[in-house]
Amino acid sequence: MHDLLVDLANLARDERLGGVDTADWARVDRVLSHWRAHLNPHSNWLLVADDNLARDFGTAEARDRWTQLVRSGELISAPDADPVLLERARTTGASVLSHDGFVGHRRRHSWIQGDAEHFFRWRVDQGDQLAIVLEPMRVVGDYTMTRAAEKDERKARGFGTRDLVDGPLAQMYRCVNPTCRASADDLLQVMPVRVSGRVACPECRRPVVARGPRPPGRRLKLLLHEQELDVVQLADGQQLVLGRGPGPARWDVALLGADTSKISRDHVRLSIRGGQVVAEDLNSTNGTGLARWSPSRRAWEPAQKLLDPTTLLARDRLELPGSLVVQQSGLRYVVPDVQ
Ligand SMILES: [Zn+2]
């Protein structure tokens, strides 16, 4: 049974620990012998790493050590190490040695939020003294989690942040492979993937056809009693009315039942202008509340009645009667799904 899971890439690449190569065993040995000397003399650890870390070790000897550790079961290597490491941590309760906050994994691994007993970090001070400390995990909001998850996703699919602005992710695509279920949509609703340098469908991995520039957009989440009900993706110039009753560009709250009886027929309009969400109360009977996020307090201010059309900031919440809430997601790759 392992009591410690080591984020090997994080540790082997940390230049503050000395060593010369991009990835260096000297760093790993230094920190793990400190762990054994000061934290747990009987520790039985497991190293976890991405497959591609192997080639960052500079010498044939260092790469041989990798191979031997994999063979002996002391090192697990996977295409994407983080989910493997976190799943083990969750099921075994082992500690984790890493500098990563794993923010992008927190929707799946909610146990990380505020955890104050499992995550350890190493520190090197100016006199080159090493210390290993327990690091309580900060609780992060949904917006931050979504954004971090998308960043991880983007990396896994072969794209960088620049690609969103002026690269392949600034375009929209269509899958034209008739045997692929993604081809049913006029526009690919999910982020494409890079396969052998070409932009491809994540379902069938065949090249996709560009369908023009992707307009700036936002993804909105509708929550009822803090449970996510639906997500709506809107692009610049599009709008959505929340209210009672069906229709184009409307979200019919009557479908939710009794909870929403205080919501007006035309309650609030959400539109995207210049990539920002603008909210406008449509003279609703019971009004719409706007709760602004306070970065200094890391909490929402009490809701104020929405009087004029207002541009929402990233983490603001719109509160409708009956515990219906609208929030933005941190997603940046947004393809409109409302015409
Ligand atoms: Zn496809």
Phi first, then psi: give them for residue 248, nearest 5 degrees: -70, 145
Cα(179) to centroid of ligand 1, in Å?
8
The predicted-structure confidence for 164-181, as pLDDT tens digits, reads as follows 888 999 999 999 999 999
Q: Looking at the structure, do residues 118 and 184 belong to the same domain, yes or no?
A: no
Note whether 148 and 129 are same-domain residues.
Answer: no
Q: pLDDT-based confidence at 10, cuts 50/70/90?
A: very high
Tokens of 259: 């909870």
Domain total in the chain: 3
CA neighbours closer than 13 Å in the CB half-sphere of residue 317: 21
Closest-CA residue to 234 (of 337, 148, 127): 337
Q: Are residues 280 and 160 in the same domain?
A: no
Give the domain-ending residue among 108, 140, 172: 140
How much distance in Å is there from the Cα of 330 to the middle of ligand 1? 26
Spatial strand order in the sheet of 276-281? 250-252, 239-243, 268-273, 276-281, 310-311
Q: Ligand 1: distance of its center to the CA of 115 in Å?
A: 40
- Compute the distance from residue 157 Cα to the ligand 1 centre, in Å: 15
Same domain for 180 and 127: no
Ligand 1 mean position, distance from CA 84 (Å): 27
Last residue of a domain, one of 213, 247, 269: 213
**Gap between the Cα atoms of 164 and 158, Å rounded:** 12
Q: What is the pTM of this model?
A: 0.69
Same domain, 206 and 221: no
181 & 236 share domain: no
Query: Could you tell me the CATH number of the domain that includes residue 48?
Result: 3.40.50.11980
Query: How many whole angstroms from 9 Cα to the centroid of ligand 1?
Result: 33
Distances (CA, A) of 181 to 154, 175, 194, 201, 337: 22, 9, 19, 10, 17
Specify if 338 maps to a domain.
no
Given the DSSP bridges, would you call strands 45-50 and 75-78 parallel, antiparallel or unpaired?
parallel
Q: Is the pLDDT of residue 257 over 80?
A: no
Q: 181 and 110 in one domain?
A: no
158 shares a domain with 73 = no
Q: How far is the CA of 189 from the centre of ligand 1 (A)?
A: 11
Are residues 128 and 180 both part of a single domain?
A: no
The reply to whether 147 and 249 lie within a common domain is: no
Q: How far is CA 205 from the centre of its chain?
A: 23
Strand intervals (E) in 125-256: 130-134, 171-174, 193-195, 198-200, 209-213, 217-224, 227-235, 239-243, 250-252
What lies within 8 Å, CB to CB, of 83 at 6+ separation is 105, 108
- Answer yes or no: do 39 and 164 share one domain: no
What integer pLDDT is reported at residue 126 of this predicted model?
Answer: 85
Residue range 113-136, pLDDT digits in tens? 889 899 999 999 888 899 999 988
User: Would the pLDDT of 103 be above 90?
Assistant: no
Read off the tokens for 145: 């989690």
List the structure tokens of 31: 């920190």
Residue ranges making up the domain that contains 195: 143-213
In a domain, 324, yes or no: yes
- 311 plus 186 within the same structural domain: no
User: In this model, does residue 205 exceed pLDDT 70?
Assistant: yes
